[in-house]
Amino acid sequence: MKAIILAAGKGIRLRPLTHVIPKALLPVGGKPTIDYVIANLVKCSEIDEIYVAVSHLSDAMGKYFEHVRYDVKVTPVQVMGWETGGDIVSVLAEKNIHGPVLVCYGDNITEINVAEIIRSHEKRQANATVALFEVPKEDRGRFGIAEIKDQMIAKFIEKPDEGSTSSNFANAGYFVLETGSLKGIEAKKFKIERELFPIWAREGKLYGHVQKLELWVDIGTIESYILANKLVHKFLPPR
């Protein structure tokens, strides 16, 4: 199975750091953020190749991957930075990817079992299976939130307003996607979590796989970037 890491964002809220360093290459605990993501993927024997969607400071990303070696092939793919949906469609088309694909965000620090998500997806007829984890109720507005019933996602709300859901199961930034579910969708700027996940949930084609995560932190802001550097040594010590 192929995997796609979405790492095309400009990291606007992390400026001035991201004026010269791509967001996914910002160091956390002494190594680039994206290496934590790749570490989760290479532990899964089903993943045989990884594509990294790049746009902002793409030359720096390309040079980084020229000089680092992983247990599976990692290839940067130039995209337009058209949010998650547009960049996924672009990579699928350029690399002629068919069947299920594992998609993940390039700015999250966590340790997650990718093989479990894939196995969960294989058990059912779904357009996508989203890895979920519990977050404090006061943090729900920062995430895509899923209301689940027997592992089916009955409702998916991207960054819900206060009071719009009682669920606290959040998108962990990893999901298995059937490429056929995007057939006919053009490469344009759109967010798959906002425009397609809610539709698939209503149609009974979106499932969730809940995992208990000791640490999950993104580096979307200066504050969360500082927090990530404080927490990573405690929860994900070097091996």
Tally of CB atoms within 10 A around 187: 19
- Domains, the chain, in order of start with CATH, read 2-235 (3.90.550.10)
pTM of the model: 0.95
Q: How confident is the model at residue 61 (pLDDT cuts 50, 70, 90)?
A: very high
CA distance 236 to 48: 24
Which structure tokens are listed for 31?
Answer: 């190594």
The predicted pLDDT at position 161 comes to 86
Q: What is the mean pLDDT of the chain?
A: 93
Q: How many CB atoms lie within 10 A of CB 73?
A: 11
> How does residue 57 score in pLDDT terms, banded at 50, 70 and 90?
confident
Distance CA 93, CA 225 (A): 33
For the stretch 197-227, pLDDT in tens is: 999 999 999 999 999 999 999 998 999 999 9
Contact criterion met (CB below 8 Å) for 84 and 108: no
Evaluate if residue 239 carries a pLDDT over 60.
Answer: no
Q: Please state, in angstroms and rounded to a whole number, the distance separating the CA atoms of residues 4 and 67.
A: 20
Contact 198, 157 (CB under 8 A): yes
